[in-house]
Structure 1
Amino acid sequence: MPAAIACPIILTASDRHRLKKAAYGHKAEHQARMRAHIVRHAARGRSNARIAAETRLHADTVRTWRNRFAGGGLPALADRRRSGRPARFTPVQAAEAKALACRLPAETGVRLSRRPCPEPAAELTARGITDTVSASTVRRWLRQDALKPWQYRSWTFIRDKDFRARAQRVLDLYARTFEGVALGADEHVLSSDEKTSIQARCRCHPTLAPGQARAMRVNHEYGRGGAVAYLAAYDVHRAKVHGRVEPTTGIAPFMALVEQVMTQEPYAGAKRVFWIVDNGSSHCGRTSIDRMAARFPDAVLINTPFHASWLNQVEIFFSGLSGPDLPDTP
């Protein structure tokens, strides 16, 4: 029998450009690159046997993609659509799973802390919405609409009737302005607060310094020293923290922090030092303002709005603070 003649391949300029990009592109898949090479070799008039030898592919593979391109062009080099395994769950079941994930915990009787995918998967089976379904399947359904029922964000209502005015005063101080007048070089702004219930721990053995081909060694065992409070005053514009450790919080520990800061430069000789604090019992109300002014006339106590201590910039410093990481403080 006479040998079959390979299909002739004729490329346009556009086809040549796209095939070259597919054959040598770094992001192209291996299969797409090999198919592009087959077509480019065929366009040069080479036989299927020679192309198979040069590309190290089977001759039947070369023949298949050569014929596919001859019959359908570049789109024919893509994989044909496969039917795949029949869907086990219907779109309605997936939609009901998403609806269940969007319900409040109180409506489903599930605690807020138990909202990962295994619970919705079991709930779907218990309600008869689906047969047994895996957590990964439910997670895939939720990912389609970027649903994350296991996450939540807390928030609070603004209860201070003077919130706007009090918050504006704090924000103006951060911008070096007070009552519409720019602060001078001898005026400073301190953000102060307390971090309570810090566990004081000390290592049972000293830390060993790193050496050649040896990492620093930190002893795993530690002794507990009880819980302490860390009081800090953060200079907003100089990015400097002044702090101290006290057994507990209260008026005396807070005034000790004020004494520590106000008796050193540049605050001792400053024209005014603004202390931004929350509404804790140790520094809230007219009595606290008078107590501060009587001890340090150049100190001005500014309270944040009620339930808005997040306006206090020292909270940013506290957010990354833990017991063993406490800075050296008196």
Structure 2
Amino acid sequence: MPVALACPIALTAYERERLKKMAYGHKTEHRIRQRAQVVLLAARGHSSARIAREMGLHRDTVRTWRGRFAAHRLPALSDRKRSGRPPRFTPLQTAQVKALACQLPPESGTPLARWSAPELAREVVARHIAPTICASTVRRWLKQDAVKPWQQQSWIFITDPAFRPKAERVLDLYARTWGGLPLGVDEYVISADEKTSVQARCRCHPTLAPGQARAMRVNHTYGRGGALAYLAAYDVHRAKVFGRCEPTTGIDPFMKLVAHVMSQEPYASARRVFWVVDNGSSHRGKKAADRLTAAHPNAVLVHTPVHAFWLNQVEIFFSVVQRKVVTPNDFTDLQQVGDRLRAFEDRYNATAQPFQWKFTTSDLDDLLARLDRHTADHPEESSATPA
């Protein structure tokens, strides 16, 4: 039988440059490198048999890639699309699994708080959606639509009818304005609140200091040494903290904090001192405002809206205290807790800078507009009982 002639290969300058990069590039896949080398040798006039001997390939393999390149040029060196294994699951089954993941487990009588991928796989089999399925398949399907039923996010409706004007007053104070007028140099803004139940946990074994390749080690077992309340007043624009440790919270401890601040300069002789507080029982409502004004005529109590404690800047300071002072909780008694809190106040006040508060009234309007759109799109949620 006559031997089939090898396909002649003639390269353009561009093809030769591309093939050289493919044949000798360090990051080129091995199979692509081999195919490019076959074509380059064929372009030099080498026979298929010689190329096969030099490269350690079968002659049919060389012929295949010579022929493909001659017919379709550079794109022919890539793998052709393959049909692969037939799919085990239908699009309907995939949609049913995703729909199941978007339902709360109690709605179907399943005694779970939320779905996990293994629990969903088990439920799919129990409902005869599919005879068998693994958790990794479920997780891959849900990832396509960014569905994560094992995660949760809390939310709450705005219940204060005067939310915007109250929030606007607080934000204006942070921007040093009140009633549309700028604050004077003798007017100050204080953010105040209580951090309740700061415990003294007496560890049963001493805490071990960190070492090479070893984190600090804190014994899990502890004895309870009591708890105290930490009250703090934070000057928003001067970044100064005034704190008090009390056995508990209440009206009297809060008024002691106010007296502690207002008896000092520059607040004692200030024209006005605005106290931003939340709606806790120690300083709630008009009675608290009247009580504060009666004790200190230049003090003005300003409440944040209900469920908007995040507008109170002293909460940022409390988060610093929690991270740097309280955690890990290892104290011998409440006296040590109080001493460390007071010492940290001095340390903080020595270097503190005002917080970079970036939430403005414009951001507030954007937030309320998004909530209004969400309520309009989901009216069934707006009729639910607020959290």
TM-score band, normalised by the shorter chain? 0.7 to 0.9
Structure 1 residues 133 and 296: alpha-carbon distance in aligned structure 2, compared to 1, 3 A threshold: same
- 1:199 matched to 2:199: yes
Aligned counterparts of 1:71 and 1:223: Cα–Cα separation in 2: 82
Shift, 1:98, TM fit: 0.7
Q: Which moved more, 1:129-138 or 1:227-236?
A: 227-236
Structure 1 residues 133 and 290: alpha-carbon distance in aligned structure 2, compared to 1, 3 A threshold: same
Structure 1 residues 227 and 19: alpha-carbon distance in aligned structure 2, compared to 1, 3 A threshold: farther
Aligned residue number for residue 272 of structure 1? 272
Query: Residue type of the partner of 2:148?
Result: K
- 1:139 matched to 2:151: no
Query: Residue type of the partner of 1:8?
Result: P
Residue ranges of structure 2 left out of the alignment (5+ in a row): 330-336, 343-387
Secondary structure of 2:172's partner? helix
- 1:308 matched to 2:308: yes
RMSD: 3.5
Shift, 1:4, TM fit: 7.7
- 1:94 matched to 2:60: no
Shift, 1:278, TM fit: 0.8
- 1:11 matched to 2:11: yes
- 1:329 matched to 2:328: no
Query: Residue type of the partner of 1:220?
Result: N
Residue ranges of structure 1 left out of the alignment (5+ in a row): none
Q: Which structure features the higher share of helix residues?
A: 2
Q: Which moved more, 1:24-33 or 1:153-162?
A: 24-33
Shift, 1:140, TM fit: 0.8
Structure 1 residues 219 and 89: alpha-carbon distance in aligned structure 2, compared to 1, 3 A threshold: closer
Aligned residue number for residue 346 of structure 2? none
Identity score, percent: 62
Secondary structure of 1:276's partner? strand
Secondary structure of 2:142's partner? helix
Structure 1 residues 224 and 5: alpha-carbon distance in aligned structure 2, compared to 1, 3 A threshold: farther
Aligned counterparts of 1:241 and 1:32: Cα–Cα separation in 2: 67
Query: Residue type of the partner of 1:234?
Result: Y
Structure 1 residues 256 and 7: alpha-carbon distance in aligned structure 2, compared to 1, 3 A threshold: farther
Aligned counterparts of 2:33 and 2:256: Cα–Cα separation in 1: 73
Aligned residue number for residue 167 of structure 2? 167
Q: Deviations over 1:15-65 (max 9, x none)?
A: 3454455456676544434444443454444566776788x6646555543
Contact 2:277 2:302 survives alignment (8 Å)? yes
Aligned residue number for residue 182 of structure 1? 182
Shift, 1:125, TM fit: 1.3
Structure 1 residues 240 and 136: alpha-carbon distance in aligned structure 2, compared to 1, 3 A threshold: farther
Contact 1:201 1:324 survives alignment (8 Å)? no
Shift, 1:124, TM fit: 1.2
Aligned counterparts of 1:112 and 1:206: Cα–Cα separation in 2: 39
TM-score (norm 1): 0.81
Aligned counterparts of 1:52 and 1:264: Cα–Cα separation in 2: 94
Q: Which moved more, 1:132-141 or 1:106-115?
A: 106-115
Structure 1 residues 88 and 270: alpha-carbon distance in aligned structure 2, compared to 1, 3 A threshold: same
Q: Deviations over 1:210-260 (max 9, x none)?
A: 6xx686755536553234333333333344544444332212232333344
Q: Deviations over 1:49-105 (max 9, x none)?
A: 776788x66465555434432232222222222332222211110010111111234
Aligned counterparts of 2:128 and 2:155: Cα–Cα separation in 1: 35
Aligned residue number for residue 65 of structure 1? 65
